[in-house]
Amino acid sequence: MSDMASQNTAMVTARNVSFSADDQLLLNDISVRIASGNITMVLGHNGAGKTLLLSALHGLISPQRGTIIGPARQKQKMVFQKPILLRRSAREYFEFLCPGLDDSTVQNWFQKAQLGPRMTTPARQLSGGESQKLALIGALASQPDLLFLDEPTAHLDFESIGFIESQITAARKTGTTIVMTSHNRAQAERLAEHVIFMENGRIVEMACANTFFSSPQTQAAKTYLKHY
């Protein structure tokens, strides 16, 4: 095993996982152990298999081979790069994501995200940054043990990025295990504690973040970091 997560309890473990679609091998013999209570960043070029890996670990797709062991689905949440917004108000969408909260708690989450005035707005009329913040607070309010984030700040404004990163950091401090993808190297260096680097559906390198960014071991990772 690499230095990644070697001293920590695993939150989710994949062993020899493979997934194919349309006769194309998209995840190729993936074995990985995600440490509890840390931020793990999954990096790689477009098409490397990052989103598919998150979907498999979260249980949204069923691999043809291998096993995945993790917490119960009700203790996990996933926020997509572009949230799927339902035909309901922002508040109703939040309550769909995280039912059963009292009115004061719901309002506090909206105020924290600076979405208070938008509670009655149809969710589909929110801006990109607003909709992403709504999806994130809906996920965080349920206090998941495991949170998957797929490019949570892609194409967002500076304020939205700052809010989302602050919430990721806060969730980490309260014990949530976070697995996320990003194409922003500066963001990855700010947030990551561990890195999984993928290429062509395979994991080609795993390391503590400091080691990965300062001394990548594979040529593929070295080439990637030169361009990001």
pLDDT score for 5: 41
pLDDT score for 3: 39
pLDDT score for 1: 35
Q: How far is Cα 191 from Cα 166, in angstroms, rounded to an integer?
A: 10
pLDDT score for 161: 93
Which residue shows structure tokens 């801006």? 127
Give the distance from CA 52 to its chain's centroid.
Answer: 12
- Residue 129 tokens read as 């940054």
Rg of the chain over all Cα atoms, to the nearest angstrom: 18
Q: What values do phi and psi take at 21, rounded to 5? A: -150, 135
Among left, alpha and beta (phi > 0; psi -120 to 50; other), residue 221 is alpha
**From first to last of its 228 residues, what are the pLDDT tens digits of the chain?**
333 444 468 999 999 999 999 999 999 999 999 999 999 999 999 999 999 999 999 999 999 999 999 999 899 999 998 888 888 999 999 999 999 999 999 999 999 999 999 999 999 999 999 999 999 999 999 999 999 999 999 889 899 999 999 999 999 999 999 999 999 999 999 999 999 999 999 999 999 999 999 999 999 999 999 888
Q: Which domains does the chain have, with CATH numbers?
A: 10-227 (3.40.50.300)
Q: How far is Cα 15 from Cα 116, in angstroms, rounded to an integer?
A: 44
pTM (2 decimals)? Answer: 0.92
Q: How far is Cα 33 from Cα 225, in angstroms, rounded to an integer?
A: 23
pLDDT score for 8: 61
Tell me the three-class secondary structure of the chain, residue by residue.
CCCCCCCCCEEEEEEEEEEEECCEEEEEEEEEEEECCCEEEEECCCCCCHHHHHHHHHCCCCCCEEEEECCCHHHEEEECCCCCCCCCEHHHHHHHHCCCCCHHHHHHHHHHCCCHHHCCCEHHHCCHHHHHHHHHHHHHCCCCCEEEEECCCCCCCHHHHHHHHHHHHHHHHCCCEEEEECCCHHHHHHHCCEEEEEECCEEEEEEEHHHHHHCCCCHHHHHHHHHC
